[in-house]
Amino acid sequence: MTKTAADAQADIPLLDLKEQYAQLRDELMAAAARVMDSGISICGPEVKAFESEFASAMGAPYCAGVSNGTDAIELALKACGVEPGDEVAVPAFTFIATASAVCSVGARPVFVDIEEKTFSMDAESLKRALTPKTKAVIPVHLFGWPANMEPLMEVSQKAGLKVVEDCAQAHGAMYNGKPVGGFGHAGTFSFYPSKNMGALGDAGAVITREAKLHEAVLSLRDAGRARGERYLHAVPGRNARLDELQAAFLRVKLKRLSAWNEARGRAASVYQEELKGLPLSLPPQSRDGHRHVYHLFVLRTPRRDELAAHLLKAGIRTAVYYPVPLHLQPAFSGLGGAEGGCPASEAACREVLALPMYPELGEARARRVALEIRRFYAS
């Protein structure tokens, strides 16, 4: 049996980073040695080089490396002038970090429902959620598919809102031929290890077209220091810097991001082709300048839990992103959310299931996953 055939018969995890690390081990070790040999651990040449390289890759003039994706959102909101007492519109269907970052600046998250087919924040629902206190909106490019930015930007611009794009799951995704993160005032990224391009720990970034906003983030991430000063602080910032070591690791990985996204796309194409005709809903496919980078391959089915149990018995891991919408989370119980408040988000939470997806998954393993799904529906 060939290695490919043998791999296809082994248990299939939702995500496997070991194979990727094995391929990059020598380069990652060399990157670590480079940092140690330099004697510089914070805000040194690796961070500066990564910021320049990532900005170029994402089509933005400015990038500030920060400590993680949640801090990226918080710092971007602060740089946009969001203050305690303001309201910020966020989708009800996303990871909690999008909303918790709003709370961290003292603002109030207002939960907006999503489009049923794309999981994007719904523009009409956004309109209804606006109040005189609304200061900003955070569209989320969920699972690797770009949010529907044209109508969202139209609503936001008419209302005079700051737009901070949450691109944590969408490194390299495109909307109308343009990389995500460049439509609003800022785009925020997470480099958590499971992301399309992950660090070996926590890391994040804020990209922007605005020099003033960029300077604000650089100051806020570094104890509020005035530019070029050591003990003169312009604002009460905090420590949210990107480490030299993580920046060095990310520089190694950035060179592979495009190829990794293409590999994800090939595995996703197998899923799309092999699962056609089944009574389930598949994610959008790349088309007309819209590029899906498949951070996750998320399907929808009312029989979600049964299907997940069947796949687990076959040695195939799946996961639910996300089982509880944000307006019903205990953390936000004081905000007045109630069942039925965001019906499309609530329905998604009952039906979504993420299949195995990572660049090294390959077509053989993807076909095996699809075959097991077909067996489930045939039984």
**Nearest to residue 199, comparing CAs of 348, 75, 68?**
68
242 and 318 part of one domain: no
29 and 149 part of one domain: yes
301 and 189 part of one domain: no
Q: How many CB atoms lie within 10 A of CB 59?
A: 15
264-320 per-position pLDDT tens digit: 999 999 999 999 999 999 999 999 999 999 999 999 999 999 999 999 999 999 999
- Is beta strand 87-91 parallel, antiparallel or unpaired with respect to 108-112? parallel
45 and 183 part of one domain: yes
246 and 334 part of one domain: no
pLDDT confidence of residue 170: 98
342 and 207 part of one domain: no
The whole-number average pLDDT for the span 211-237 is 92
339 and 368 part of one domain: yes
195 and 284 part of one domain: no
Its domain, for residue 11, covers 3-15+256-378
Query: Buried (b) or exposed (e) across 248-279, using 16+ Cβ within 10 A?
Result: bbbbbbbebbeebbebbbebbebbbebbeebe
The pLDDT-based confidence of 7 (bands split at 50, 70, 90) is low
The answer to pTM > 0.85 is: yes
301 and 265 part of one domain: yes
Distance (Å) of CA 200 to CA 9, 110, 221, 245, 295: 29, 33, 20, 9, 17
Which domain-ending residue is among 207, 232, 254?
Answer: 254
64 and 145 part of one domain: yes
pLDDT confidence of residue 243: 97
pLDDT confidence of residue 326: 98
Q: Report how many domains make up the chain.
A: 2
**Nearest to residue 221, comparing CAs of 206, 208, 231?**
206
pLDDT confidence of residue 1: 39
- CATH at residue 293: 3.90.1150.10
28-75 per-position pLDDT tens digit: 999 999 999 999 999 899 999 999 999 999 999 999 999 999 999 999
Helix ranges (DSSP H) in 39-113? 45-57, 69-79, 97-104
The whole-number average pLDDT for the span 227-231 is 85
**Nearest to residue 96, comparing CAs of 73, 118, 130?**
73
Name residues whose C-beta falls within 8 Å of residue 129's C-beta, 6 or more positions apart in sequence. Answer: 89, 110, 111, 112
The pLDDT-based confidence of 4 (bands split at 50, 70, 90) is low
- Say yes or no to pLDDT of 9 above 90: no
- Say yes or no to pLDDT of 340 above 60: yes
DSSP letter at 41 equals -
How high is the mean pLDDT of the chain? 96
189 and 107 part of one domain: yes
**Nearest to residue 194, comparing CAs of 7, 18, 10, 362?**
18
Which domain-ending residue is among 198, 223, 254?
Answer: 254
Element holding 353 (H helix, E strand):
strand 352-355
249 and 263 part of one domain: no
Which domain-ending residue is among 236, 254, 272?
Answer: 254
- Say yes or no to pLDDT of 133 above 80: yes
